[in-house]
Structure 1
């Protein structure tokens, strides 16, 4: 027998983490004011089905003990043995059809055989079809006096409002980590398991408030009645706390060289991306609690949370880890002067030269020379007049060419891939595709290399290219060109410059 089956709660006192709900349901059993229909909702492993069974057992118990089933009367013993026919438990995931629901409603019309009430427990009720919900609706609104319904679901939003409004709803929250840790300690003592305290804390934290998940992890990692932290960390693909501490300390000191060495070590190990981000975020959470108001830790937390959402969009998990670590290791203030300073100097230096040089050289001097000689000299000299006219246009054409050339080739230091991504924030699909690309910039030509054909086609679309080129022109000046190709082995050395 598995641990979560063996230690399933049998009364309200054994149910952990749901004190408010236990108090309400115990009181309703004591006073005899039991509703005709209940709706239990919450994440998996929080006690919804167990509470439904305890409630059904208590309703038909002939000798309640402070709101708890007595476990000694005939009804309670039959219920524990699985032979109490007045409690029907139905899995909606395997009984979605209308016919199944109609047969259930027909049996509801018959009086109970053993207990006071006939009780129907429908688990995962959101899996019922629309027709099944409609068939249940009338009976749920006005059930027979001897019938009770207890519905349980993990996705309450999929249950029609007409069903929800006809039930008493109870929301089961995640079990706190401290409560779950104490529960695991109690079970290991009863089972005689030699468990390390840190291992139990890791399991309680990784279970995310689910008791069933925690007991499954405990059973899975127990070898010869021993539970070690290393075994749990390896099973969950978590990072050792010493490495996490080293990473955060390097980020705090902006030690880029050490971060690059850590990235190389991570590439040689089996790292699960979500487990890596979970370990970092848990560690940062603890540091934020210890040092409330620390801007650095708040910034690190924002960076890792933002990139955590991109795990499902970027297929190369190590690339996402590199980008995140190098971005967090870059001082926040460096990006401001490097981006703004060259733009201001160019606008201040180029504009006065472009305004002052062409006006005195082209307009006053050359135009005055051409009209003076023709009226004074003979007609053969008139043939010379078109010559200066031919000379002046190219000189006039030279000046605008200078105006066009200067913004076309901005210094490479002005280009920022991060600014381009920010400018495409209103086009999330293109932005996510660009995040997975490696790039090289030469003058006003931006070359993008993709490992995924889907991302390549997303950016190589003509409308997308026009959009990106327009953003490049408006951000960095000049007339930009965009080149896209597929490269299965891209150069990732650019990553440290992405977020500068």
Structure 2
């Protein structure tokens, strides 16, 4: 009798004949609880139920795609019907297990709720469960994507779920548990399947390639594991795609990037440098290069977000390098990048990119959305949230540290001996234009208030220089003043600086600093003056503090 030739990893007979090819995710589907990766909290519970005989009548398996819901359901269906279970696992050798594995068993019924979601389909199940299994212990119904059932179908299922025959088990699987009615949830044991960690997927891919005789770089396998986003089935599908394109060749990191439409980290380094230098044109040109190369834009944004996350890890934790799992050469380059950007900016970049991923996934004009986001990264003024305000303050501080000064065109008041209602002209402002401007209000101070005011005027630059970095930068270019009903004020011409200084904690901190300097209490308010608005003219008056009445001489 002629012996059948053995098949190789590609599904080819050594004699040149073809056999039916089995996809990797089907070929490597776990057949025991121990083979299920990343769901130990679930398989341990189900095994203990098998050992103790405390088997429920309705289970709800929920989680993202490719995390093992249907696989565990099939293993459990075999285990409850197995004639010789081993430590809670099916033996996969007895007639019952073999029949279920081949799909010929009448005891296990798989239903796709996406295409069988009507009331009539559920009524058929309700009629079938009246009859006990002819062989085996349990009749198991696995309903996949159960959230697709209609409202009527759910109502038809309720009674059977609540009081099923002792020999019936329902296993409901869904990726959208929020669509399941609460009346169904309350009748099931719920198990949440977690996303599988990239390290677990990497180990699984490593074992798979060794068994299949496929040569692959660890770096390539790690990228496939991360691109799968916690899905074991997706990792095997991506792996199969890469193997098919480069069949017979060693699978390298560069080849995986090319197949999956991804880009190398050097591109992200270039993009980050463009962002930090505010080079909008350079960032747009780089995005054009990525687009011309045919790279997947959603994957590009996702990978750039991970790149920023790696920079953040390096900056925030001493164990960050261990968590990155990359070569020393790549780590060195990443360290250099991390030194150029502060933590607050990284958090803001990651937030914007994370929001972009959700927006661009289903957008028609993906590139336009990405370009807007890149400009937003480089222009904090486009946003009005606190993170962006902090970014603008940091930018202002950097400019001041670099020796750059802010020029103000507002007139500076002549409060030291100038007649009330008149102002000294600012540098470069024609006297004629000052004369045309309306005079500011006249404020009379008591002797003590006037002395305090004159001292503030003389030493204002020294007071500002003695503040912390943030408050000092906000007070740059301001002047002290006094307004009726408000008291001592800080006059701002920059709306952003005024808004940041109006925060109560900052005003209190500054007031405390000035009070300690002069030995008595000062309280300040931050006031914004519009362009051309005249500051008050401060004069020495005769009024007593707190007395605002005229004193008339009594008639004799």
- The 5-angstrom pairing of residues 202-241 of structure 1 reads 202-222=223-243, 223-226=246-249, 227-241=251-265
Q: Which residue of 2 aligns with 1:324?
A: 373
After superposition, the C-alpha distances for 1:307-344 in whole angstroms (9 at most, x for unaligned) are 43442686443333333334434583377699xx8999
The Cα shift of 1:246 comes to 2.7
Classify 1:322/1:58 alpha carbon distance in 2 versus 1 (closer, same or farther; 3 Å): same
2:202 to 161, 181, 198: 181
- Unmatched 5+ residue regions in structure 2? 1-21, 318-342, 381-390, 400-405, 414-425, 427-432, 441-493, 497-529, 532-556
Describe how 1:63-462 pairs up with structure 2 within 5 A: 63-222=84-243, 223-226=246-249, 227-252=251-276, 259=283, 261-263=285-287, 265-266=289-290, 268-292=292-316, 294-311=343-360, 315-329=364-378, 332-333=391-392, 345=410, 354-356=437-439
The verdict on how the C-alpha distance between 1:175 and 1:106 changes in structure 2, with shifts beyond 3 A counting, is same
SS in 2 for 1:356: coil
- The alpha-carbon distance between structure 1 residues 352 and 273, as it changes in their structure 2 partners (threshold 3 A), is farther
Q: In 2, distance between residues paired with 1:125 and 1:182?
A: 32
Number of aligned positions between the proteins: 368
> Distance between the aligned counterparts of 1:236 and 1:50, measured in 2?
26
Query: What is the match of residue 372 of structure 1?
Result: none
After superposition, give the CA deviation of every residue in 1:163-184 in whole Å (9 maximum; x if it has no partner): 1100000000110010001101
Q: Distance in 1 between matches of 2:288 and 2:115?
A: 49
SS in 2 for 1:355: coil
Q: Given the superposition, is the C-alpha separation of residues 46 and 344 from structure 1 closer, same or farther in structure 2, using an over 3 Å criterion?
A: farther
Cα 1:186–1:314, aligned 2, differ >3 Å: closer, same or farther?
A: closer
Structure 2 CA distance for aligned equivalents of residues 303 and 28 of structure 1? 46
Greater shift, 320-329 or 90-99, is seen at: 320-329
Q: Residues 9-34 of structure 1, C-alpha deviation per residue, up to 9 Å, x if partnerless?
A: 11101100101101100000011100
Higher helix share: 1
SS of residue paired to 1:119? strand
Q: Is the 8 A contact 2:291 2:297 kept in 1?
A: no
SS at match of 1:9: coil
Tell me which moved more, 262-271 or 106-115.
Answer: 262-271
TM-score, normalised relative to structure 1: 0.66
Structure 1 CA distance for aligned equivalents of residues 367 and 495 of structure 2: 25
Deviation at 1:87, TM superposition (A): 1.1
Q: The residue matched to 1:200 in structure 2 has which SS? A: helix
Label 1:233 to 1:22 Cα distance change in 2 as closer, same or farther (>3 A).
same
Instruction: Supply the distance in 1 between the matched residues of 2:156 and 2:212 (Cα, whole angstroms).
Output: 47
Q: Who is 1:366 aligned against?
A: none
Contact 1:41 1:153 in 2 (8 A): yes
Structure 1 segments (4+ residues) deviating >6 Å = 334-338, 341-344, 346-352
Distance 1:343 1:128 in 2: 68
Q: Deviations over 1:448-476 (max 9, x none)?
A: xxxxxxxxxxxxxxxxxxxxxxxxxxxx9
Q: CA RMSD in A?
A: 3.6
Q: CA–CA distance in 1 between the matches of 2:79 and 2:274?
A: 58
- Is 1:11–2:35 an aligned residue pair? no
- Structure 2 CA distance, aligned partners of 1:10 and 1:102? 31
For residues 96-146 of structure 1, give each alpha carbon's deviation from its aligned partner in whole angstroms, at most 9, with x where no partner exists.
111111111111000111101111111111111111111111011000111
Report if the CA contact (8 A) 1:84-1:114 is conserved: no
Tell me the CA shift for residue 250 of structure 1: 4.4
For 1:42 and 1:122, the matched residues in 2 are separated by: 14
Q: What is the CA-CA distance between 1:219 and the residue it aligns to? A: 0.6
Gaps of 5+ in 1: 358-413, 417-475, 478-500
